[in-house]
Amino acid sequence: MQEFAKTNQNPTAKWWQFAPPLGCGTLCLRRTIRTFALILFTLSEIFIQPVSAQVGEYCQFENEAIASKDKLRIKALQNSDRPDPTTLKEYQSIVQRHRQTLNTCRQKSWLKTQGIWLRLYPCDLQAGKLEEIMDRMVNRGYNQVFVEVISDGKILLPQSENFTAWDSLVQSEKYKNADLLKLAIAKGKERGLKVHAWLFTMNVSKGYGQGFDLTGLSRQTVARQQAIARNGYGDNTISIIENLGKNPEREVPTKDQLFIDPYNYQAQKDLYLAVNEVIKRQPDGVAFDYVRYKRGAGSASVVSNVRYLWIYGEASLRALRDRAENLQGLEIIQRFVKQGFITPNDLKIAKTRYPQESEPLWQGRRPSPDKPAIAFWQGELWRLAVNHAFIGVIYYLDSIAKPVFRQGIPASIAFFSDGNQPVGNGFDSRMQPWHLFSNKYEWRPMAYAVCNKPDCIVAQVRRVTQLAPAGTQVAPILVGQWGEPFSNRPSLESQMQAIRTAVPTINSISHFAFGWQKRELAFTRSRQFCKL
C-alpha cells in the first residue's frame, strides 16, 4: 500500500508509473491490479465529488457558495408549472450539502443554536420565494427560525381551514387552500432549520374578533367584547393614545395593539384554538411573545395606582373579588378598585356592616397583631392588585400552552428582563412576571438595552440567568447588525462574544429580526408590498 499512500498525496502521478515490471509473476500482477484500482477510486473521490462549501466563524457561507445555490434555485424554480428536473436535482443536492455543512459547523461552535425571527407575507407563496427566504437564513449561519403566526391581526392559516378569531393573512380566492405556515415549516426543515411558530399571547392585535367566520357569522360577539382588557377608567388598549415619547429601549408605543383580559374564558378559548391549529402543522416548537400587558410611554411606562392596571375586565374583577376571604375583605377590595385608594372611613364602614369579623382578610393576608395605620392597608391592597395582575398572565399562558406540552415539543417565552421590576412607588406597566415562569418553558429574554457597548446587554442576560430556576434553558434575543453598530448597540458579533465571556453556559442566541437586517431590507420590502 506504499504506492497508494504516495498516490494519495500526489493525485497527478501518471498511471504508467505503476505498470507491472517485465517478468512480473501472477502474484505480482494481482498486487499491481489492486493498487491501480485503489488509484482510480481515489481519483474519482477527488474529481467527481463536489467540494464542500466553506463557512466562516459564525457558520456563514462564502459568497461563491451562495451565488452557486442562488443560480441553481432561480433556474430550477423559475417555471413553477414545469420545473427543470435536472437543475432541480442539482439545486436540491446543494441544499443538502449546505445543510450538512451548517450542522457540522454548529456542532463544533460554542453557539449551538443561532436563531432569527421572521414575518411572512402573502407573496411568499410565489414559486421559489420560501426557498429563497430559507436559503438566505442558512447562508447567514442560522439553524433556527421563529415564524410569526399572527401579524397585524391576521393569522397564518389557510382561508378554507380557518376557524379562529382572526382573518387569514392570505385573502386571495385563488390561494384559499394555501397553507403558508405548513409550507414554511417544510421548507425550513428541508434545510436543517428548526422552525418554531411564534405566537402573540395577550396582545391579540386589533383584527381580533373582526369580520366573519367560515359559517358567515360575525366574529364580533359580546363574549369577545368582554374579553378585552380594560383599566379603571373604562379604556381598552386601543382607545388610549400614547404620544409621550419612546421607552428606554426606544420601543415606539402603538394604539394598534389590543390586549385581552387573561382571566377571560373566551380569550383563553380563542388562542387555545389557534395554538392547536398551529400544532397540527408540526413545528419544532412554539414561542410565546407578549406574555404581558401593554406598556405605556413616558410617565405612563410606570403604573402606581390600581386604576391604571389592566385588571378591570369583567372576568378579572370577578377573580379579584373572589380572592377575599371574608366579607370585610370583599368590601374593602371593591372600594379600593373603585376609588383607587381607601380611607379610615372605608375600614369603619366595613367593620360596621360585618361586626362579626375582626378585620378584612384576603388571599395571602394573615390577621394583624395590632391595629395597623391606613398606609398599611394601602400597601397590602396594592400588593394584592399587582399579584393579581401577575398571576393572570401566568394562568393565561399555562392555559393556552397545553396543546404544545401535550404534543411534547418545546415551548418558550420571549420577555423583557426588566418587565417585572418595581419602579419608585410603582411597577413597570408591562407587568411581565418572568420571575414566576416555570423552567418547563425555554426562556428567551429580549436583551435590548442601549448603552453603546455590550455591558448593559450582558447585565440583562446575567440577571435572568441568576434568577432563573435550576435547569432553565436561557437563550437571549438580540437586536443589531452584522459587522457594524446599530442604534447605539454594538454589532451582533460583539454582543454575542460579550455574552459568551460573561455567561459561558449560554449556547443559544437569536436575532430580531430577519426584516431588520440591512442585507435583507430591500428583499423584505419587495415581499411586503408585492401583490399576489
Amino acid 359 reads E
Ordered by start, the domain boundaries in the chain are 2-47, 63-309+409-528, 314-391
| Paired strand residues for 422 | 427
Long-range contacts of residues 359-363, Cβ cutoff 8 Å, at least 24 apart: 359/328, 360/324, 360/326, 360/328, 360/329, 360/331, 360/332, 360/333, 361/324, 361/325, 361/326, 361/328, 361/329, 362/323, 362/324, 362/325, 362/329, 362/333, 363/323, 363/325
The total of other beta-carbon atoms located within 10 Å of residue 330's CB is 19
Which CA distances in Å does 87 have to 71, 73, 80, 457? 10, 8, 13, 46
Q: What is the CA radius of gyration of the chain?
A: 30
DSSP-derived letter for residue 466 is H
C-alpha to C-alpha distance for 404 and 485, rounded to whole angstroms: 37
The total of other beta-carbon atoms located within 10 Å of residue 408's CB is 6
Q: CB-side exposure of 395: number of CA atoms within 13 Å?
A: 17
Cell digits for 9?
498525496
Strands, DSSP E only, in 401-515? Answer: 411-416, 422-423, 426-428, 442-446, 477-478, 508-511
C-alpha to C-alpha distance for 477 and 474, rounded to whole angstroms: 10
DSSP-derived letter for residue 484 is B
Distance of CA 20 to the CA centre of its chain: 67
Which CA distances in Å does 494 have to 132, 420, 476, 500, 501? 28, 27, 14, 10, 11
Query: What is the reported pLDDT for 15?
Result: 35
SS3 sequence of 21-70: CCCCCHHHHHHHHHHHHHHHHHHHHHHCCCCCCCECCCCCECHHHHHHHH
Amino acid 229 reads A
Query: What is the reported pLDDT for 23?
Result: 54
C-alpha to C-alpha distance for 94 and 71, rounded to whole angstroms: 11
Q: Residue 10: CB partners within 8 Å, gap ≥ 6? A: none
Query: What is the reported pLDDT for 14?
Result: 39
Q: Where are the alpha helices (DSSP H) in 141-205?
A: 180-190
Kindly report the backbone phi and psi dihedral angles of residue 228, in degrees, each rounded to the nearest multiple of 5, phi listed first: -80, 135
C-alpha to C-alpha distance for 151 and 207, rounded to whole angstroms: 9
Q: Which of 298, 211, 205 is nearest to 255 (CA)?
A: 205
C-alpha to C-alpha distance for 158 and 178, rounded to whole angstroms: 5
CATH architecture assignment, domain 63-309+409-528: Alpha-Beta Barrel (3.20)
* Positions of the chain with pLDDT under 50: 1-19, 22, 29, 33, 36-51, 242-248
C-alpha to C-alpha distance for 74 and 70, rounded to whole angstroms: 6
Q: Where are the alpha helices (DSSP H) in 262-401?
A: 265-280, 314-321, 327-339, 344-353, 374-400
C-alpha to C-alpha distance for 142 and 489, rounded to whole angstroms: 21
